[in-house]
């Protein structure tokens, strides 16, 4: 976000929500290079692995959705740093055929009556034979800031996943490749690249590694492990660098129902809790 818009938005939220100014400055980031939409996903499964976004189904990488055959509906929620007014909601649904063709839809809303971000994503993916899946996603981004009005734009993303073997998989994700802008094409939206590797050395253990790059920020290495402790319970632990943050969470299964929770710590602000529930049928 530009410095001018950041300061104005911060003052508006401070005046009407009575939040501490140092919290607002940290949240809005006066040194941020882009307008908004830094939230990649609030899916607890991804957050618990350190925020990895390129490897798993229901992630920003549409190619990964080809792995989960059937229909899926899920809802996720988080209140960033536990601060009132920084609430984020996400609704996700997908349909993957037995031929591994996947159609996905995501609705995400973040913010409050003073400042809000809304995203609508439509994605399509297909798997070729047993070694390659590709997918594309079109996002409509809408931002609304009091006294600045509303603005929207469209961003395009492209993702692939390579199945080298049963135990080794690679993923590549490009987000906002068309360089979208909002507010009279003045404010850039994040342009991101992710390269991930997934290792499954044992049927009860999965190790994910990813390098994430936002063009306006340093490289962010991320890694996490998933341990299938019981047939109905997964435990996840993760870490990311730049910024340095620890994460953890669990997933509970019962037939087609899945409940997830995750915690992501912050070096300065309070940690954030993420919860979600999904149904596959």
- Residue-averaged pLDDT of the chain: 88
Q: What are the boundaries of each domain within the chain?
A: 3-280
Lowest mean pLDDT among 19-23, 88-92, 135-139, 228-232: 19-23
- The neighbour count for residue 155, using CB atoms within 10 Å, is 22
3-state secondary structure the chain: CCHHHHHHHHHHHHHHHCCCHHHHHHHHCCCCCCCCCCCCCCCHHHHCCCCCCCCCCCCCCHHHHHHCCEEEEEEEEEEHHHCCCCEEEEEEEEEECCCCEEEEEEEEEEECCCEEEEEEEEEEEEEECCCEEEEEEEEEEEEEECCCEEEEEEEEEEEEEEECCCCEEEEEEEECCCCCEECCCCEECCCEEEEEEEEEEECCEEEEEEEEEECCCCEEEEEEEEEEEECCEEEEEEEECCCCEEEEEEEEEECCEEEEEEEECCCCCCCEEEEEEEEEC
pLDDT of 23 above 90: no
pLDDT in tens, 183-198: 877 788 999 999 999 9
- Locate tokens 């342009």: which residue? 191
> What is the model's pLDDT at position 9?
44
- pLDDT band of residue 37 (cuts 50, 70, 90) is confident
pLDDT in tens, 127-182: 998 899 999 999 999 999 988 889 999 999 999 999 999 999 999 999 999 999 98
Count of residues making up the chain: 281
Average pLDDT over residues 72-89: 96
Helices 3-17 and 21-28 pack at an angle, to 10 degrees, of 140
- How many Å apart are CA 92 and CA 46, to the nearest integer? 14
Q: Cα dihedral sign for 192, 77, 170, 97?
A: negative
- For residues 141 and 152, is the Cβ–Cβ distance under 8 A? yes
pLDDT of 31 above 90: no
What pTM was estimated for this model as a whole? Answer: 0.87
Average pLDDT over residues 209-237: 95
- For residues 106 and 92, is the Cβ–Cβ distance under 8 A? yes
pLDDT of 77 above 80: yes
Query: Considering only the top CATH level, what class is 3-280?
Result: mainly beta
Cis peptide preceding 273, ω within 30 of 0: no
- The share of the chain scoring above pLDDT 90, in percent, equals 77
- For residues 225 and 200, is the Cβ–Cβ distance under 8 A? no
């Amino acid at each position: 976000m530009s410095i001018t818009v950041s300061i104005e938005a911060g003052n508006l939220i401070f005046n009407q929500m009575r939040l501490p100014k140092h919290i607002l400055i940290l949240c809005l980031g006066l040194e941020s290079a882009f307008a908004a939409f830094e939230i990649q996903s609030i899916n607890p499964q991804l957050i618990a692995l350190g925020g990895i976004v390129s490897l798993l189904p229901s992630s920003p990488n549409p190619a990964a959705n080809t792995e989960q055959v059937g229909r899926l509906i899920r809802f996720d929620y988080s209140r960033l740093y536990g601060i009132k007014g920084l609430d984020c909601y996400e609704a996700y649904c997908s349909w993957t055929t037995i031929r591994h063709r996947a159609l996905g839809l995501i609705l995400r809303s973040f913010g409050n009556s003073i400042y809000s971000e809304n995203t609508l994503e439509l994605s399509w993916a297909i798997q070729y034979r047993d070694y390659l899946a590709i997918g594309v996603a079109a996002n409509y981004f809408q931002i609304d800031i009091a006294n600045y009005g509303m603005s929207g734009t469209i961003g395009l993303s492209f993702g692939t996943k390579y199945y080298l073997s049963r135990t080794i998989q690679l993923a590549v994700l490009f987000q906002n490749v068309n360089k979208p802008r909002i507010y009279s094409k003045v404010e850039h939206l994040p342009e991101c690249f992710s390269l991930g590797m997934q290792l499954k050395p044992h049927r009860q253990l999965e190790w994910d590694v990813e390098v994430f790059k936002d063009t306006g920020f340093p490289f962010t290495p991320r890694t996490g492990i998933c341990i299938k402790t019981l047939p109905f319970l997964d435990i996840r632990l993760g870490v990311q660098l730049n910024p340095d943050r620890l994460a953890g969470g669990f997933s509970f299964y019962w037939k087609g129902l899945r409940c997830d929770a995750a915690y992501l710590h912050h070096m300065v602000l309070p940690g954030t809790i993420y919860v979600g529930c999904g149904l596959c049928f």
